[in-house]
Amino acid sequence: MSIEVKNINKRFGDFVALDNINLDIQTGELLALLGPSGCGKTTLLRIVAGLETADQGSILFHGEDATDTHVRERQVGFVFQHYALFRHMTVFENVAFGLRVRPKHTRPTEAAIKQKVHALLELVQLDWLADRYPAQLSGGQRQRIALARALAVEPRVLLLDEPFGALDTQVRKELRRWLRRLHDEMHITSVFVTHDQEEALEVADRVVVMNKGRIEQTGTPEQVYDQPATPFVYQFLGDVNLFHSRVHEGWAEVGGTRFAAPEASDKAVIYVRPHEIDIQRVATDTALAGVITHVRLLGATVRLEVNVAAGDPVEVELTRERYVEGRWSVGEAVWLSPREARVYAG
């Protein structure tokens, strides 16, 4: 089931929550809506679901206008962070719920329900919990059951709003890998909302980066990370150092390292990721002089904070190995040279 989002606009009073959103979601795709809090991700997801109506624009499911189709007829499965399981029902009954409430003529037989629920519980690898109540499950198990419940009615589209948002980092990481594998088996067109860039880049086929009710960029994880279309995308998808420069004959500079600048501007901002900076103890004509002020160990990588004469402190990321080899320490004079950069008009 493909989904087309066409010219969607939504206001809450004077506040523009969605500003002319256009998006094509391919059949079987796993798409992430990524952006900071309040950028309109949930509102867009709710409009696709039919839980919210747009002021303008339309939603097409498989080429057919679904704008006025009731949420029940859209055959959409939901997993929301706060869309809790029914507390008074066992895991089995929670998953069976959507089948049991069907009108009599489409309701499966008791035997068929039983078979289906067990198949789904096996799919989410929790069949052994069928007789438990939600209060007897961990947060991660609850979310997997919520997913099994959403899948029970054979949705044509699966919508997930921060499904793992309330869980701790380790469980989150496991569940997102698991979601990716599950999606590879089932191929249901799926859209999930997250504000966590790592989650979006790791799990999704394509990422839609949103900001203030607009789409900043849509692309594969590699595209949005390696070729960010706007400064916002660059900053949102990872830590970055900013250097301000005047533009001389089409070049902007960090220290003495030159980068091609956008033609139309006489000022530029140069964006450099912490792992794209070389650090050395020997001065060169082009390197930027500084002093190490902090060392932060982050597991496999190490961040050095370096004070430079002008501008904010610069963050340099090294692998743990290179850090140990280099014996870098606080108070040392060092010279920095960016290897890669992106330059935007300042």
Ligand X SMILES: Nc1ncnc2c1ncn2[C@@H]1O[C@H](COP(=O)(O)OP(=O)(O)OP(=O)(O)O)[C@@H](O)[C@H]1O
- Between 18 and 302, name the residue whose CB sits nearer to ligand X: 18
- Between 116 and 195, name the residue whose CB sits nearer to ligand X: 195
Minimum distance between the CB of residue 21 and ligand X, rounded to whole angstroms? 11
Q: The tokens of 75 are what?
A: 């055959």
Inter-residue long-range contacts of 71-76, CB under 8 Å, 24+ positions, other chains counted: 74/49, 74/50, 74/156, 74/157, 75/153, 75/154, 75/155, 75/156, 75/157, 76/48, 76/49, 76/50, 76/155, 76/156, 76/157, 76/158, 76/159
Minimum distance between the CB of residue 49 and ligand X, rounded to whole angstroms? 12
Contact 276, 339 (CB under 8 A): yes
Contact between 98 and ligand X by CB under 6 A: the answer reads no
Contact between 42 and ligand X by CB under 6 A: the answer reads yes
Binds ligand X by CB under 6 A, chosen from 23, 30, 34, 39: 39
Three-class DSSP category at 334: strand
- Between 47 and 126, name the residue whose CB sits nearer to ligand X: 47
Contact between 255 and ligand X by CB under 6 A: the answer reads no
Minimum distance between the CB of residue 221 and ligand X, rounded to whole angstroms? 19
Q: The tokens of 100 are what?
A: 């049991």
Determine how β-strand 56-61 pairs with β-strand 3-12: antiparallel
Beta carbons within 8 Å of 109's beta carbon, 6+ residues apart: none
Minimum distance between the CB of residue 195 and ligand X, rounded to whole angstroms? 5
For ligand X, the binding residues in 183-222 under the rule CB under 6 A are 195
Minimum distance between the CB of residue 58 and ligand X, rounded to whole angstroms? 19
Q: The tokens of 326 are what?
A: 């280099």
- C-alpha closest to that of 151 among 120, 175, 106: 120
Binds ligand X by CB under 6 A, chosen from 1, 8, 29, 40: 40
- Between 44 and 247, name the residue whose CB sits nearer to ligand X: 44
Select from 41-49, 74-82, 200-208, 266-274 the region that touches ligand X (CB under 6 A): 41-49
Contact 98, 153 (CB under 8 A): yes
Contact between 106 and ligand X by CB under 6 A: the answer reads no
Binds ligand X by CB under 6 A, chosen from 2, 28, 38, 275: 38
- C-alpha closest to that of 335 among 289, 303, 296: 289
Task: Give kind and range of the element (H or E) at residue 257.
Answer: strand 257-260
Minimum distance between the CB of residue 330 and ligand X, rounded to whole angstroms? 37
Q: Which residues bind ligand X (CB under 6 A)?
A: 12, 17, 35, 37-43, 195
